[in-house]
Amino acid sequence: MAGLRIARELYRAGSAAGVAVAIAPALPDLGRVVSEVPIPVLAQHVDPVEPGARTGFVPAEALAASGARGSLVNHSEHPLSTDATGEAIRRLGALGLVAVVCARDERRAKQLAAFEPPYLAVEPPELIGGRRAVSTARPELVANTVRAVRSVSRSTRVLCGAGVHSRVDVARALELGSEGILVASAVTRAREPRRAIEDLLSGF
Please give the positions annotated as active site: 75, 123
**What is the distance between the alpha carbons of residues 195 and 167, in angstroms, rounded to a whole number?**
11
CB-CB contact of 149 with 168 (8 Å): no
Q: What is the 3-state secondary structure (H, E, C) of the chain?
A: CHHHHHHHHHHHHHHHHCCCCCECCCHHHHHHHHHHCCCCEEECCCCCCCCCCCCCCCCHHHHHHHCCCEEEECCCCCCCCHHHHHHHHHHHHHCCCEEEEEECCHHHHHHHHCCCCCEEEECCHHHCCCCCCHHHHCHHHHHHHHHHHHCCCCCCEEEEECCCCCHHHHHHHHHCCCCCEECCHHHHCCCCHHHHHHHHHCCC
The residue count of the chain comes to 204
Backbone angles phi, psi at 182, to 5 degrees: -125, 120
